[in-house]
Structure 1
Amino acid sequence: MYEERASPLVPGAVLWRSDGPGGAVLPDGCMDLLWTGGRLLVAGPDTGPHPAGEIPGEAPGGPFWGLRFAPGTAPALLGVPAHELRDRRVELAGLWPGAEVRRLAERTGAYTDPRDGLEELARARAADSGPPDPVAAAVRAGLRRGRSVAALARDVGLGERQLHRRSLDAFGYGPRTLGRVLRLQRALALLRIGTPQAQVAYAVGYADQAHLGREVRALTGRTPGAHAPTPDRAPGG
């Protein structure tokens, strides 16, 4: 079982819970703060499918509670560049002082719904940390409008190399890879409601249906048809 809801306290964030075995976690440009088994962990940005529930020291299929940050917003709060956590799941105690993390983990677990504890932790931490890199929001917005990397660099007043470095810190990968990931997520949203593949390819800016197929397989390990609704999986599931 998986459920999620928007966070009312952390801008752009999503609160979620996963119970039991699940499929792969797919690249979305996001980082997550997790609570499970009395522990606080961080899921870094993925570049490919990651088995759901595959956490060091945890048996797969257990319950997880999470707060998913909007792309580019977690590094300022966590105090670590996103690229250092790319394709990784790490203990928060590896990033922050252990005694502080143990106290925060106990406080989070004391909530009836640990997601509320994660939300409060993030809200309090954000008040004491600096804001996210403003370039990150400009990059996200520009990529969604179809801007090229060269155009993005001009938009934010940086050279392409500088933009790449800032993107690595904010997202875990450069703007070209981020663009692929964001486009993938738009494509998956349409595939999951049964939109024909040719229409999906046109709507999200792939060259053609074959291009859609190559990108979906490269980033998810599955064909576009595997993400479409089936008789035993309702649209959007």
Structure 2
Amino acid sequence: MDAERASDGELAESCGWSRKRSWARFESQIGLTPERAAMMVRFRYAVEGLLAGQPAADIAVACGYTDQSHLCRDVSSFAGSTPGALSGEALTPFSKLRHQTWGTFFQY
């Protein structure tokens, strides 16, 4: 089983649990559903690309978004902004530091 590509059902089965129980345990321990946690991890990598000045379309493909508008919706939802507003030059030094600190939470 490839850990990066494993489905939630495969992960649950490898633990001997049902999918429902694995989701409940994950949510009780992390405070987020596995789906929401995956969205946040994907968003974190997208923000890193935006801060590095990469084009939003390239980031959308690299991070697994279905298209650039999907990336834009997530940026709007999580950051209340557009991808262009998250470019490295548009952020204040405080915002960059906050992102760097927040980003260390999701390292594996």
User: Structure 2 length as normaliser, TM-score?
Assistant: 0.73
* Equivalent residue number for residue 99 of structure 2: none
* Equivalent residue number for residue 160 of structure 1: 19
Letter in 2 for 1:197: A
Show the 5 A alignment for 1:100-179.
Answer: 142=3, 145-179=4-38
* Equivalent residue number for residue 209 of structure 1: 68
Q: Is the 8 A contact 1:192 1:227 kept in 2?
A: yes
Higher helix share: 2
- How far apart are the structure 2 equivalents of 1:231 and 1:171? 32
Percent of aligned pairs with the same residue? 30
Structure 1 pair 218–146 and aligned structure 2 pair: CA distance change class (3 A)? farther
Q: Is the 8 A contact 1:149 1:176 kept in 2?
A: no
**Deviation for aligned residue 1:231:** 6.7
Letter in 2 for 1:156: C
Tell me, which stretches of 5 or more residues in structure 2 are unaligned? 97-108
Higher strand share: 1
- How far apart are the structure 2 equivalents of 1:227 and 1:200? 13
Aligned residue for 2:88, secondary structure, equals coil
Q: Is the 8 A contact 1:201 1:212 kept in 2?
A: yes
- Equivalences, count: 94
Structure 1 pair 192–202 and aligned structure 2 pair: CA distance change class (3 A)? same
